[in-house]
Structure formats: C-alpha cells, structure tokens
Amino acid sequence: VDPYGMGGGGFDPNDLGDIFGNIFGDIFGQQGGGRQGGPRVTRGADLRYRMDVTLEQAAEGYKTEIRIPSWEVCETCDGSGAKEGTQATTCSTCHGAGSVNMRQGIFHMQQTCPTCHGSGKEIKDPCKSCDGVGRVRKHKTLEVEIPAGIDSGMRVRSAGNGEPGENGGPPGDLYIDVMIKPHDIFTRDGDDLHCEVPMSFVTAALGGTLTVPTLTGKGEIKIPEGTQTSKVFRLRGKGVKGVRAGYPGDLYCHVVVETPVRLSDEQKDLLNKFAESVDKDAEKHSPQNKSWGDRLRNFFS
C-alpha cells in the first residue's frame, strides 16, 4: 500500500491532476470527484421562525398553527420554469451536466455552469407565473407542538418544512426559536420559579399563614415570628418540569414586608405607644438595628 498515491511504476503528473480534481470537485459541490453528470441536486434551505409563548404555555406544552412564507412548486409550469406548451432544452454550455470543467495546467476543476446555474437546462420561453424559476413564493400553514417544559432560547425542529430542494433535492427544515414572554408574577430560573410576596408588618412580627400564587393555583407558607424582608420560602415541586427533567423545580417566595401608609390619628397613636415600648428594650426587639449601630460606631471611631 502506497499512502502517498504513487505506484511502483513511477510518478505520473496526470495522477496529481486527478487528485486535485477530486479535491476541487468536492469543494465546488460535486460528488464522487465530479465524475457524475447531470444537474446538481441541492438540499432546500432551512427556515427560522420566532415564537413567543407565555410561561404557562411553556410549562404545560402548547399546540398552535403558524403561517410561514415558503417557496412552492409553480402549478402553472409544474416546476419546469417553461411557458405552457413549451419545454426547457438541454443547456448548450454544459450539455445537461449542470457543471463545466476547467483545467489550468495540472489542475482540473469543476464549477457550476454559468448559463443554467446547475440545472442542466435552458429556458427560452419562461413561465409568466414564476418568471422561469419553477417556484413561486407563497405562505403555508403548519401545526406545531411546543413540548412541555421548554425554556427561552430553545429550538424546536420541524423536519422537511423548510424550503424545497432543487432538482429533486430534499427539503430543508423549519427551526422554531422559542421565547417566553415576561410574566406578571413569576420569573424563571431554569426549572425554578421566583416571585415576590408582600406581607404586612403585623404578620411579619407575629407570624401566621400566607397564601401565595403558584403556576397552577395557590399554595400556603407558614410565616414564623420576626420574619424580615427578603426572607425566602421554598415550595418544593411548584416550579416547572423541564423538557429533560425527571421532576419539577421549586417555587421560591421572596417576602417583602410592607410599611403601612395613610394611617389615621388613632393608628399613629397606637404605633407611637408601640415604639415607646419597643425602645425600652431595643437590643432585644431589633437585633439588626443594634448590629448596624455597632458597625457605624466602629466605622467612625
């Protein structure tokens, strides 16, 4: 076996030409070293479509119809590109091969025929419906299914629903880029959900039970006494079950303690009395305030 392609009978310059012919044939889209004749078969182009869905649709899955622009075979000429009653003729330049040979010294190359652009045929009287292209621009309606658990940035492939191929080539594919719309309550982080939950300062101080929204309904969290703003409570399994996940994520509730506004005089008096009672033992009732005061004193000392 000769790994360099040179036999024992000596080196033939024509062999080098065949080698480069194969290489450049592949580069210019010819198969088998460009030795096969006939029009070039081309796969259809892929199409892209952006779909905006709600968080609920993404979590549960979603079926819908979309309308996309696409090339379709011209019905007037049945894809031939020739005027009705006429036929396309064999290309006079490439004689139906769809490609022409070029040789420069020892280099042997093939390239797409400049006359017929690879079709192998010439059209003297083009079809008026498609201007000789053999295809017309139309819209088609497709039913697509978005899988449950899909996230923003993921892509759904619909095989064979792209542009049609040329000269009998296979069609391309349709790729649907999914984007999730902003939600009024939840933000998504992978399979987990996050939300802010307002809470009265009375509930924060005394504790209690708080009803919170979930993606499918309602849930409850127990609030311990002395809960502070930004405390996070987790509801297991109340997130989203991702496309590849075996179980759903969690829901994280970030509580925000609300300061009461528009108080009556009576309410203000009650709060003032409450403040006086708390100030008598501030370190006990406001540990964070004491810690903050200690840090300030250390900072300015």
Q: Are 134 and 77 in contact (CB under 8 A)?
A: yes
* Model pLDDT, residue 199: 94
* Model pLDDT, residue 102: 82
DSSP one-letter string for 167-204: TTPPP--EEEEEEEPPPSS-EEETTEEEEEEEEEHHHH
Mean pLDDT, range 4-12, rounded to an integer: 41
Tell me if the pTM is above 0.85: no
* Model pLDDT, residue 142: 93
d(CA 148, CA 63): 10
Q: If pLDDT is split at 50, 70 and 90, which confidence band does 291 have? A: low
Mean pLDDT, range 162-189, rounded to an integer: 92
Name the CATH architecture for the domain at 17-34+42-180: Ribbon (2.10)
Where do the domains of the chain lie? 17-34+42-180, 187-300
Give the closest residue to 142 by CA, choosing from 132, 155, 121, 157.
Answer: 157
Q: If pLDDT is split at 50, 70 and 90, which confidence band does 10 have? A: very low
Q: What pLDDT, in 10s, does the model give residues 31-83?
A: 433 444 556 778 989 999 999 999 999 999 999 999 988 888 888 888 888 88
The values of phi and psi at residue 219, to 5°, are -145, 170
Mean pLDDT, range 204-224, rounded to an integer: 95
DSSP one-letter string for 203-242: HHHH-EEEEEEETTEEEEEEEPTTPPTT-EEEETT-S---
Q: What pLDDT, in 10s, does the model give residues 92-136?
A: 888 888 888 887 777 888 888 888 877 788 888 899 989 888 888
* Model pLDDT, residue 29: 43
| pLDDT surpassing 80 at residue 17 | no
Give CATH for domain 187-300.
Answer: 2.60.260.20
Q: What pLDDT, in 10s, does the model give residues 229-263?
A: 999 999 999 999 999 999 999 999 999 999 999 99
For 10: left if phi > 0, alpha if psi spans -120 to 50, otherwise beta; the answer is left
Same fold, 17-34+42-180 and 187-300: no
